[in-house]
Amino acid sequence: MKVIATNKKARFDYEILDTYEAGIVLRGPEVKSVKAGQISIKEAFATVRGEEVFLTNAHISPYKQASNIEQEPTRSRKLLLKKSEISSLVGKAKTQGLTLIPTKVYLKRGFVKVEIGLGKGKKKYDKREQLKKKDVKREIARDLREKTKEG
């Protein structure tokens, strides 16, 4: 499994409760562009329309060698999930007020896959608390390194 893109901001802004693996419907030049790492999912989110799930606002740069094909970088792309997964996503998203966020894009046996996280938005004080914990861990690690150098 080769990870192509990750959404670090998703884990900071949302508390990810559950994850799903989904295939994504891409055109030929888009596949080559994604495999080259030309994808950004920082502003992306997933929406449910009827019985289908779509990845919206993911930016895939146009593939330069395929100049004859019209390519729209931020178009909505269909995600391939099982019907049971879609129905559970719809139920949880509507009843609990959760959001669908792409957390990473990767290759699995040559296919482009997207990991979708079912997330609950964090409050500002939760984010501050997380940053404080991160700083404390960094300070402890720094102190341990300095003590091992001295001793």
pLDDT tens series, the chain, 151 aa: 889 999 888 888 888 888 999 999 998 888 888 888 899 999 999 888 888 999 999 999 888 887 677 778 888 999 999 999 888 888 887 777 788 899 999 999 989 999 999 888 877 777 788 888 888 999 999 988 888 887 6
Exposure string of 38-73, with b = 16+ CB inside 10 Å and e = fewer, is bbbbeebbbebeeeebbbbbbebebbeeeeeeeeee
Q: Whole-prediction pTM value?
A: 0.76
The CA distances from residue 118 to 48, 53, 104, 123, 127, in Å, are 13, 13, 13, 16, 18
- Residues 132, 127: Cα–Cα separation, whole Å: 9
